[in-house]
Chains A and B, each alone.
Chain A
Amino acid sequence: MKNRESIIAPLFGLVVGILVSSILLIISGSNPILAFQGLYVGSFGSLGAISNTLIKAIPLIIGGLAVIISYKSGIFNVGVEGQLFFGAMGGSIIATMPMFQDLPAFISIPLSIIVAMIFGGILGFIPGYLKAYRGINEVVVTMLLNYIIIFFLSQQVQPGGFLHETGTKANQSNPVHEAMRLPVLFEGLLTKVHVGLIIALVLVVIIWFVMSRTAIGFKMKAIGLNPKAAEYAGMDMSLIQTKVMIVSGAMAGLAGAVEILGYHYRLVDAFALGIGYNSIAVALLASLNPIAVIFSAIFFGALQAGNNTMQIIAEVPESFTRLVQGVVVFFVIAGAVLPKIISKKMTIKRLAKEAVEENHVKEGQENA
């Protein structure tokens, strides 16, 4: 029942989203069939296209998971964006600063990732603590921290910043040390899909396991569903929520490091703009199901990967892919309501039927 719901809702949203986007395309004078064809070719049409889609999906999977654990625990981490940037910055300290370039890769890569996670975790801790122990709205705090961090990072890769690549005017850091680049999977196939994909999939399994099989996952869900009952049942809500925000931030930071080490190979100003916010959409599209995050992240990855081809074939502007994303997410969330109404009606009907049957049984007993 629940599983069916979480599939129906996104599919419904997807179909309606595509229809509405088509109408918008027609209004703006483009051919929607060409446009979606372009989108398909650019995202799944070739090995390179699929590789591109997967690369875009990697940070979205990890970011989506970070969103899921916080939302499930009743604390809304809107700060994946900032935590990802901050993590990338932390990771880049190890990965791009000359003083670390002589470390062997088996130390430097994990070290870079761990530093990234610590950076992200710290950024998650701040709103988590303020929410859990001081009652300050986490949405506001994480949103504002996003701006602070993005501009702080921007400053550090500009001339004068401590991560700035000396001798250039570009707003970027030194390149990642050659040895520290994440290995590429399927080397012979000329794709650029990196080990980050494995990391993301392992995380999916871990988060799925924690949420559905462990006592701490149980507590997180209880807190998210009814904090007052959870508190009454002896769960330390403040502590758990704070910890969840640290982990959520750390995962976002990890996503940032993976982007730098596996894809961008240097820290560039605003390099991951929007990934954090898209992660929220990814998580919602997946109905907060860790396994489904893989598919919704690939869908979002495909929208980004297919963007260029779509622009060329259908001559639509780049902003259009964003519009499609927006329309789809809107209808997915709207769609999430529809199956709920249906299932509620079904429940009422079933209960009513049972009540009637029970009465019949009773009558039968009385007659006998």
Chain B
Amino acid sequence: METVLKVENLSKIFPKVVANDNISFDLKKGEIVAILGENGAGKSTLMNCLYGIYHPTKGDIYIKGEKVKLTRIEDAEALGIGMVHQHFMLVEELTVAENVILGRRTGKTPYLDLKKVEKAVKKLSDRYNFGLDPKSKIKDLSVGTRQRVEILKMLYRNADILILDEATAVLTPQETVELFKTLKNFVNEGKSVLMITHKLEEVMELADRVVVLIDGKMAGTVNRIDTNPRKLANMMVGRDVLMDFDIKPVFYDEFALQVKNMTVKDKHGLEKIKNLSFGIKKGEILGVAGVDGNGQAELAEALTGLMKIDSGEIVIGEEVFKHIKPKKIYEKGMSHIPQDRHERGLVLDMSVNENLALEGIAHIPFSYKGIIDFKYLRSHGKTMVHDYNIKCYDGDCPTKELSGGNQQKVIVAREIDRKPEIIIAVQPTRGLDIGATEFVRNKLLEEKERGAAVLLISTELEEILMVSNRIAVIHEGEFMGIIDNKNVDILELGLMMTGTRRDKDEE
């Protein structure tokens, strides 16, 4: 079959950092190739080279047999390469058709022939079963639909090599299924797809071949049929990876945390959490799954005292709270791994040692009668850096100089080391590589086994399935049901995520 894209010995060297080292692979007509790698493996750099954003230091790119030099995005697009970014490049206030034509000409410059574009968009949409109305505004569309607009934008520009960057990160399981169908349609038509991902299941489901990157180098290229997820994970990390966690059953019977009829309103008075009730036992992990923006942030903020509760109550142990302050949370042995480590979790301009002491600073042994014990601060920092494998040259190193994964480890170390009774973890592995992700999940499981109650809020279903005892699905501030994590039907979870209540059809 014809090779549409070929990369030969491509290297991209930034000042003193080798992001891509001698990468070679090819993409044939009608084929899906996955670029698999951890964060920081060099996937994005490689894609940016193919899309004309970066210029390779060494090596060649061939498109349809011809050696090309891509200096601008326009060059790449003219050659039929289209990229769908993880974060959509759409203007919310404009319509589908307007977004498709954004930055392009319609023919009779300087006039804009929107009618023509709308017709073309409609035609393309019908052809691929996208179900798009060219006249609807982006802001009224769901995330999955928006992604279809992005794809359509590329098709309109006659792309026959589609590059998808972590395309499923924002989709529900149903939307993912739809996307995969669409991609399969493409390749049947003779188009080619290059997908960047770190999710093994996607690769196994969709790709014909897999290019695995590790630390900017090629770990190898394998055919999908010759491999399995475990082998791929090992290639990607360079060592054995824990794929299945052993979820022990809950041994305790008492509730560590209960929420009763809690309603939380945002500053505009909109109900973000609606009359929510649930409980978590000691030694239990309750996973809260759901599409981002369905009240997860508000749930965590209300439980940790950062947002006001409008009605209902929180019961910690046996103590009832109508409203709780962050300081109280600390005193009650409740830990919180926040969603945004830069905004809430860390003071980036302070050192690692200081961040590890952020909550405990006013207490013994960090300080005695208000005077900080720097000797303890340092030795504590040293222990934490060692125990949690935080990579920094010194505990006095400003936290902003650490990588994202290591910053997250600082938070995890601080929150877990004080042996909390309750842990509220929101997206605790977002942006972490496999190694760090495994580390954090293991720590949560260890804590659970020690007897901590864990509320794990995550938009990554895989993560929830891996470690939770029970799974609650949140949709628009309400739980669509809480199910045991045994023989879970993923599609059912997906339906719940989009608002189908489970307990109703049981009634």
Q: Which residues of A contact B358 (CB under 8 A)?
A: 222, 229-230, 233
Cβ of B226 within 8 Å of any chain A Cβ, yes or no, is: no
Q: Which residues of A contact B326 (CB under 8 A)?
A: 231-235
B window 355-412: CB within 8 A of A: 357-359, 361-362, 366-367, 370-372, 374, 393, 401
Cβ of B504 within 8 Å of any chain A Cβ, yes or no, is: no
Q: Is the CB of A229 within 8 A of B359?
A: no
Q: Which residues of A contact B393 (CB under 8 A)?
A: 354
Q: Residues 334-364 of chain B: 1 if any A CB is under 8 Å from the residue's CB, otherwise 0? A: 0010100001111111100010011101100
Q: Is the CB of A213 within 8 A of B372?
A: yes
Q: Is the CB of A232 within 8 A of B304?
A: yes
For the complex formed, measure the closest distance between the CB of A76 and the CB atoms of chain B, giving whole angstroms: 18
Q: Is the CB of A355 within 8 A of B362?
A: no
For the complex formed, measure the closest distance between the CB of A248 and the CB atoms of chain B, giving whole angstroms: 19
Q: Is the CB of A355 within 8 A of B17?
A: yes
Task: State which of A57-65, A117-125, A344-352 sits at the interface with chain B.
Answer: A344-352
Cβ of B77 within 8 Å of any chain A Cβ, yes or no, is: no
Q: Is the CB of B371 within 8 A of A356?
A: no
Closest-by-CB residue of A relative to B363 is A215
A215-B346 contact given A232-B338, A236-B327, A359-B18, CB 8 Å threshold: no
Q: Which residues of B contact A231 (CB under 8 A)?
A: 306, 326
Q: Is the CB of A229 within 8 A of B367?
A: no
Q: Is the CB of A352 within 8 A of B347?
A: no
Contact-residue size bin, chain A (C-beta under 8 Å from the other chain): 20 to 34
Closest-by-CB residue of A relative to B374 is A213
How far, in whole Å, are A355 and B338 apart by their CA atoms in the complex? 28
How far, in whole Å, are A47 and B215 apart by their CA atoms in the complex? 67
Cβ of B110 within 8 Å of any chain A Cβ, yes or no, is: no
Q: Is the CB of B16 within 8 A of A229?
A: no
A window 201-223: CB within 8 A of B: 213-216, 218-219, 221-222
Q: Is the CB of B370 within 8 A of A214?
A: yes
B306, B366, B371: residue with the most chain A Cβ atoms closer than 10 Å: B371
Contact-residue size bin, chain B (C-beta under 8 Å from the other chain): 35 or more
Q: Is the CB of A352 within 8 A of B330?
A: no
Of A214, A225, A347, A359, the contact of B215 (CB 8 Å cutoff): A359
Q: Residues 333-368 of chain A: 1 if any B CB is under 8 Å from the residue's CB, otherwise 0? A: 000000000000001010111111001001000000
Q: Which residues of A contact B336 (CB under 8 A)?
A: 232
Closest-by-CB residue of B relative to A221 is B350
Q: Is the CB of B347 within 8 A of A226?
A: yes
Cβ of B107 within 8 Å of any chain A Cβ, yes or no, is: no
Q: Is the CB of B348 within 8 A of A234?
A: no
B358, B366, B370, B401: residue with the most chain A Cβ atoms closer than 10 Å: B358
A347-B16 contact given A218-B354, A232-B344, CB 8 Å threshold: no
Cβ of B329 within 8 Å of any chain A Cβ, yes or no, is: yes
Q: Is the CB of A225 within 8 A of B370?
A: no
Cβ of A322 within 8 Å of any chain B Cβ, yes or no, is: no
How far, in whole Å, are A359 and B19 apart by their CA atoms in the complex? 11
A225-B347 contact given A214-B367, A232-B338, CB 8 Å threshold: yes
How far, in whole Å, are A221 and B326 apart by their CA atoms in the complex? 18
Q: Is the CB of B362 within 8 A of A219?
A: yes
B15, B330, B336, B370: residue with the most chain A Cβ atoms closer than 10 Å: B370
For the complex formed, measure the closest distance between the CB of A346 and the CB atoms of chain B, giving whole angstroms: 11
Q: Which residues of B contact A351 (CB under 8 A)?
A: 401
Q: Is the CB of A352 within 8 A of B16?
A: yes
For the complex formed, measure the closest distance between the CB of B57 and the CB atoms of chain A, giving whole angstroms: 15
Q: Which residues of B contact A225 (CB under 8 A)?
A: 347-350
Q: Which residues of A contact B346 (CB under 8 A)?
A: 226, 229
Q: Which residues of A contact B359 (CB under 8 A)?
A: 233-234
**Residues of B in contact with A (beta carbons under 8 Å apart):** 14-18, 215, 304, 306, 325-330, 336, 338, 343-350, 354, 357-359, 361-362, 366-367, 370-372, 374, 393, 401
Q: List 8 A-B contacts (CB under 8 A).
A: A215-B371, A218-B367, A222-B358, A232-B336, A234-B327, A234-B329, A347-B401, A356-B16
**Residues of A in contact with B (beta carbons under 8 Å apart):** 213-216, 218-219, 221-222, 225-226, 228-236, 347, 349, 351-356, 359, 362
Closest 10 interchain pairs by CB? A352-B16, A234-B327, A215-B367, A234-B326, A226-B347, A233-B358, A215-B362, A234-B330, A232-B344, A233-B359
